[in-house]
Amino acid sequence: MIVSMIQIIFEIPDVDSIKEKRRIIRSVREKLQRRFHMSAAEVDLQDSLSFAQIGGALVSNSREFGEKVMNKAFEMIEREVPVRIQDMSIHSEEF
């Protein structure tokens, strides 16, 4: 069993409230879950108004498949979400 993981830290420009930040985070999480069938959550920086850290994971039988899905998920965020990516990492573990 292979678990592929993605971690993304991004800046959300022009956000004036936690409510607005939560709306954007919820949208990103739901897109990752719906389109890529992965688990996703805000994993850190909850107290920051303009930064967020999201983690996602996918279980499969192939490292290549899992990392390909993670890269497609990252590309979707870059294209569709109005954020500035600060850091991104993809990692797979075999269990």
Instruction: Judge contact between 72 and 48, C-beta under 8 A.
Output: no
* CA-wise closest residue to 25 among 38, 5, 10: 10
**Is-above-0.85 flag for pTM?**
no
Mean pLDDT across the chain: 92
Report, as an integer, the average pLDDT of 53-78: 94
SS3 assignment, position 50: coil
Helix (H) or strand (E) holding 3: strand 2-11
Assess whether pLDDT exceeds 90 at residue 69: yes
Assess whether pLDDT exceeds 90 at residue 5: yes
Q: How many CB atoms lie within 10 A of CB 3?
A: 15
Q: Note the pLDDT tens digit of each residue in 23-55.
A: 999 999 999 999 999 999 999 888 888 899 999
Q: What pLDDT does 49 receive?
A: 87
- Dihedral angle over CA of 56, 45, 11, 75, nearest 10: 0
